[in-house]
Structure 1
Amino acid sequence: MKTVSFAVPCFNSASYMDACIESILKCGDDIEILIVDDGSTKDDTAEKADEWASRHPGIIKAIHKENGGHGSAVNAGLAEASGLYYKVVDSDDWLDEAAMHDIMKYLRKQVERESPTDLVIGNYVYEKVHEGKRTIMHYRNVFPEGREFGWEDVGHFSQSQYLLMHSVIYRTELLRDMNLQLPEHTFYVDNIFVYVPLPHVRTMYYRDVDMYRYYIGREDQSVNESVMMSRIDQQLRVTRIMIDSVRLPDDVPDKRLEHYMENYLSMMMCICSIFLRMQNTDESEDKREDIWMYLKNRNDALYRRIRRSVLNMGTNLPTAVGRRIGLTGYRVAQKIFKFN
């Protein structure tokens, strides 16, 4: 058995995928790298994937599929994964060699255990390459460091702290046993990936090392402000799936986890509201009301708590005043959630 299966979703990624793959190869010979070519047509991504596989047989595998979006590529990687653990690394990002040395040391020990740790967590770094800036997102105030722990040991997340796809390494069979499937042709599915499995997680391990380097700044990037506005329907779809996939608090085994997941969903509702407010059309106002009614109809108690939360009170006031507050909320949220 391989220790970790690293899935690298690639869509027209030829100009930057090499650096990503090279960084993963430094993790050792007991890994596999699944390069998922998601129907690339504009460059030689597919040929590069095959070249990498031919140069590293037994470690790198090229998977070619029709275009289905990021979630579809993650699904394809999970279906092929043979590692004890599953980690997604986007093709324009990379892993830190020194940090992964520490992480891999722990993961290798899990191969020998009867009950391996469910979720391994590391820090991630926003690399704003064009600005020469970086922001380290850590969890040292939230998780015990260097030992296995459960939800009862977790501290308080600040508003800027969320588990993202960048920071997590799930046990592969945990994802398979819960039949995790991400929707196709939809952006922002990383929120589902890092949210829906959490009630199935019983044991965790955290290393305070800067494991994942997240490139941010490309004009076509999904977290770019104008792109987020144009894809708001996909943000709404993902939020609905999250509402439907986990019923709070019934499906959650621990109060600390319940509180965290409620805050995460509150953040998703906030982002939906803010971007719909920014569009400033009758249609967008209807969509904003619809997403809130969707939550209300499925979980009225949760709706009332999230609607009254600090994040969402101001962004949903009616009329032009509410829209102005929504724009102010966007600038605050931009700082908190680090998009764009």
Structure 2
Amino acid sequence: MNPNLAKYKISVIIPVYNTEKYIERCIKSILNQTHKNIEIILVDDGSTDNSGEICDFFKNEDSRIIVIHKQNGGAASARNSGLEIASGDYVAFVDSDDWLAEDMYAHLLECCVIQNAEIASMRYFITKEPNAVLPSTKLNIRKYTNDRIYYYLKCSFNAKELELSTCNKLYKRSLFNQLRFPSYQLSEDAYINFLLISKINTLVVSNKYGYFYFKNDASITHTKLTVKSFDLLLVCDQIIDSCRKMDDTSILDLAIAFRCKNCLSLLIRMINSDFDYEESYSKLSDYIAENLTLIMKSPMTRAQKWCCMLLTKSKRLFELAVRCTYQAYKKYR
């Protein structure tokens, strides 16, 4: 590690809620970072298992750890509580069932300092295996200045380069002086990143893997369609409103297409669930129909574009295609 970077302190904020099976692995992966100038803020968000006690145990083991115990308010509320006391030059966020490669923050910090960037991002690796190994890649680091917003929105269609999560990024802490996470239960990462990338001068994106995103059995429940699932459209609407003020049609078109993509995703989930969706279904399908020309020019995949076209031609055929595809997926997954 570059010794000149050791002076920079990183505040790592971890919302903790009922993850007693995984929190130790998460904490140890941060304590073992090659960059040692770190404070770890564990926010026990009203856990009902032993998560809070585990946090306190590690607090007594390492002076770099701070523990906050609070009533349950969701991940955004927990992150905001951590931001209130964070003292680092940079800030990072980690989910308590995930873990990090030992050089993740050293690499991100180097990207920020050398490239004079306010945000640096690297790739995460989705896994169900607790002993997973990160894929190796030929290192490629890209710097975005004037085109950073367009690039971010384009990546929202295919997150292979720049995932929308906050957990695989490092931020200058001063970015949060006047900003906090919105109080949505879902999808707040997409909007907070949009706001942050809109206000910075430089974004750096590395293709190196550094973050293990653990898809445990409990994560499956997050895919169940509920009323809160529609928070994503609220996020999309706020991004669209912000883009309208930029007077850039290419950026606005991407934002509208991003909403269409998420409308399609919700429609597909509706069909494969017991959700009472009749009124919402009409609104979402109408929005897609209104913007079909824009969709066809967007970065949406061929399959997504085909689904949108089919939806505008025949609701019955669209639903039949979705159900058949879903049944095949369940059979062969």
Q: TM-score, normalised by structure 1?
A: 0.75
Residues 315 and 51 of structure 1: CA distance in aligned 2, closer, same or farther (over 3 Å) = farther
Equivalent residue number for residue 147 of structure 2: 152
Once the two structures are aligned, what percentage of the paired residues are identical? 20
**Measured at CA, do residues 329 and 73 of structure 1 come closer, stay the same or move farther in structure 2, by a change above 3 Å?**
farther
Choose the corresponding residue for 1:320, options 316, 319, 330: 316
Give runs of aligned pairs for residues 1-340 of structure 1, distance below 5 A.
3-27=9-33, 28-41=35-48, 43-57=49-63, 59-107=64-112, 109=113, 116-129=116-129, 145-146=140-141, 148-152=143-147, 157=155, 159-161=158-160, 162-165=162-165, 166-177=167-178, 179-184=179-184, 186-216=185-215, 218-221=216-219, 224=220, 227-231=222-226, 233-247=227-241, 249-252=243-246, 261-279=255-273, 283-291=276-284, 305-306=294-295, 311=304, 313-314=308-309, 316-317=311-312, 318-327=314-323
Offset at residue 321 of structure 1 (A) = 1.4
Indicate if the aligned counterparts of 1:126 and 1:214 stay in contact, CA closer than 8 A: yes
Partners of 2:108 and 2:170 within 8 A in 1: no
1:265 maps to a residue whose letter is R
Number of positions where the alignment pairs a residue of Structure 1 with one of Structure 2: 311
C-alpha separation in 1, matches of 2:16 and 2:280: 32
- Give the conservation status (yes or no) of the 8 Å contact 1:151–1:254: no
Shift of 1:236: 0.5
Aligned CA-pair RMSD:
3.9
SS at match of 2:66: strand
SS of the residue 1:220 aligns to: helix
Residues 214, 138 of structure 1: alpha-carbon distance in 2 compared, 3 angstrom cutoff? farther
CA apart distance, 1:25: 1.5
1:337 corresponds to: none
1:304–1:255 distance in 2 versus 1, CA, 3 Å = closer
Deviation at 1:44, TM superposition (A): 1.5
Gaps of 5+ in 1: 335-339
**C-alpha distance in structure 1 between counterparts of 2:321 and 2:84, whole Å:** 45
1:125–1:134 CA contact under 8 A, matched in 2 = no
How far apart are 1:322 and its partner, in Å? 2.0
Shift of residue 65 of structure 1?
1.0
Gap runs ≥5 in structure 2: 1-6
